[in-house]
Amino acid sequence: MSRQYFGTDGIRGTVGRSPMTPDFALKLGWAAGRVLGKSHGARVLIGKDTRRSGYMFESALEAGFAAAGIETDLLGPIPTPGVAYLTRALRCQAGVVISASHNPHHDNGVKFFGPDGGKLSDAIEEEIESLLDEPLICAAPEMLGRARRIDDAAGRYIEFCKSSFPIQQTLKGLKIVVDCANGAAYKTAPAVFMELGAQVTAIGDRPDGFNINRNCGSTHLDLLKAAVREYKADIGVALDGDADRCLLVTHDGREVDGDEILFIIALQRQQAGVLQGPIVGTQMSNLGLEQAIRALGLGFERAKVGDRYVLEMLKAKGGMIGGETSGHTLCLDRTSTGDGTVTALQVLAAMIESGRTLAELAQGMKKCPQVLINVRIQGAAKPMLEHADVKAEVLAVEKELGARGRVLLRASGTEPLIRVMVEADEQNLTQRMADRIADRVRGHAR
């Protein structure tokens, strides 16, 4: 079946435009309720980030679930991984997150977790889609679902995050700056680090409904770098709007991306003697990560871009650690989905155990120069990727690079973009080749 609405991370779009309208959200809640709740009394959780539009979609989804006879628990603003955890802990049939992750406030989205705290399968998403064109048939009055609010949801999630940190360790003596992106973790992340003993400075912790991800968080690190230097912190932690991603900043203001984080955690797990299976990156993972992982004597696999594909490969290969360059890291020995706060805690544990700074730990991996250019397009991405001129330019660049590098073109799963990535052993060469391909894509992007 052709997927009309669900992308790699749920359904996402501009608020007020199809599909992100209240009437669609109501129908989506009803359709999901019909699929996910096969018996009367089924429960789902609804959490959200700090976008103003979250109120509207929360109400619409709640109404849709009620019409399908589903009981709904409202969590309020809470990180995406918090919904995944609570869905599992409270034995619910599903969890729903209203968020557009790292996108600006005028976008929003809906994504689902199953009872195990993992993403829904393609088959279940397709079953939900199949009902969206059907007439909404409301349950009988005595079978309608009810809604209630769970007031201590954030506190429960904070305790879960703390449980992922070694019980014998403490963050006492460490100075941490955490950028909450004015998003879902604006209360939970500072509390986690503080309760574990750190001296915490929080920025991006004043959401107003519109400033989520605006010049802050994991997509804009300048504010965090400046704050780390100003407060002479040991580490800076940057989350995104729904707090499932994490990037880091060293004490001297250098960015540590998801590839380096993945290497640090993999090395720590190997040294602890608990690592299982290969490390899983993506097609976008830096070649330097693969080289560093293999130098440790470990296996390395590349999945398609998207945390759901990393998770699928980890399960298929028996692995436990994987992630994306953007900072979406999976530690399946700690939780079922990407969690920015838990990821930061794993790196902090590695720092404490090794007695080394973040900068020193990151030196174990040498990155190859990589250039990523996002080209905005109109219309479908597939014809662009298959355009004869674009394919010819890619082949020409690949021939010129030879064994010195690699090229990857892919469509974004969440935005109307073609991502052009070139990796090579020399920066100027890498930039020049990436510009060549991006210019060719732009020439056919209108």
Averaged pLDDT, 380-390: 85
Distance, in Å, from the CA atom of 8 to the CA atom of 84, rounded to the nearest integer, reads: 17
Structure tokens at 2: 């052709």
Position 1 pLDDT exceeds 60:
no
List, for residues 166-205, the tens digit of each pLDDT value. Answer: 999 999 999 999 999 999 999 999 999 999 999 999 999 9
**CATH class for the domain made up of 370-442:** alpha beta
Which carries the bigger pLDDT value, residue 416 or residue 5? Answer: 5
Predicted structure pTM score: 0.89
Burial of 23 (0-12, 13-18, 19+ CB in 10 A): exposed
**CATH class for the domain made up of 11-151:** alpha beta
List, for residues 108-162, the tens digit of each pLDDT value. Answer: 999 999 999 998 888 999 999 999 999 999 999 999 999 999 999 999 999 999 9
Given a contact cutoff of 8 angstroms between Cβ atoms, the answer to whether 197 and 172 are in contact is yes
For the chain, state the CA radius of gyration. 22
Given a contact cutoff of 8 angstroms between Cβ atoms, the answer to whether 158 and 195 are in contact is yes
List, in sequence order, every residue forming a beta bridge with 370; answer none if it has no partner.
Answer: 423
Of the pLDDT bands very low, low, confident and very high (cuts 50, 70, 90), residue 104 is very high
Where exactly are the structural domains of the chain?
A: 11-151, 156-252, 256-362, 370-442
Torsion of CA 302, 305, 310, 311, to 10 degrees: -160
Structure tokens at 174: 């460490």
For the chain, give the longest Cα–Cα distance. Answer: 70
Distance, in Å, from the CA atom of 99 to the CA atom of 80, rounded to the nearest integer, reads: 8
- Pick from 54-68, 298-312, 402-416: least confident: 402-416
Q: Does the N-terminal peptide bond of residue 19 adopt cis geometry, omega within 30 degrees of 0?
A: yes
Given a contact cutoff of 8 angstroms between Cβ atoms, the answer to whether 280 and 301 are in contact is yes
Give the chain's end-to-end CA distance (angstroms, integer).
Answer: 29
Given a contact cutoff of 8 angstroms between Cβ atoms, the answer to whether 371 and 434 are in contact is yes
| Active site annotation includes 101 | yes
Burial of 324 (0-12, 13-18, 19+ CB in 10 A): buried
Distance, in Å, from the CA atom of 123 to the CA atom of 80, rounded to the nearest integer, reads: 22
> Percent of the chain scored above 70 by pLDDT?
98
Distance, in Å, from the CA atom of 281 to the CA atom of 269, rounded to the nearest integer, reads: 16
Distance, in Å, from the CA atom of 101 to the CA atom of 183, rounded to the nearest integer, reads: 9
Position 413 pLDDT exceeds 80:
no
Structure tokens at 126: 């397709």
CATH number attached to the domain at 256-362 = 3.40.120.10
Mean of pLDDT over the chain: 94
List, for residues 274-312, the tens digit of each pLDDT value. Answer: 999 999 999 989 988 998 999 999 999 999 988 889 999
Given a contact cutoff of 8 angstroms between Cβ atoms, the answer to whether 198 and 162 are in contact is no
pLDDT of residue 2: 63
Residue type, 198: A
Please determine whether the domains at 11-151 and 370-442 fall in the same fold group of CATH.
no
pLDDT of residue 272: 96
Do the bridges between strand 417-424 and strand 405-411 make them parallel or antiparallel, or are there none, so unpaired?
A: antiparallel
Which carries the bigger pLDDT value, residue 333 or residue 370? Answer: 333
List, in sequence order, every residue forming a beta bridge with 46; answer none if it has no partner.
Answer: 74, 96
pLDDT of residue 446: 65
- Pick from 14-23, 71-80, 294-303, 394-403: least confident: 394-403
**Count of CB atoms within 10 A of residue 143's CB?**
12
CATH fold of the domain at 156-252? Alpha-D-Glucose-1,6-Bisphosphate; Chain A, domain 3 (3.40.120)
Q: Left, alpha or beta for 265 (phi > 0: left; psi -120 to 50: alpha)?
A: alpha
pLDDT of residue 143: 92
Structure tokens at 62: 């709640």
Which among 101, 164, 218, 326 is annotated as catalytic? Answer: 101
Q: At 441, phi and psi to the nearest 5?
A: -65, -45
Distance, in Å, from the CA atom of 111 to the CA atom of 32, rounded to the nearest integer, reads: 11
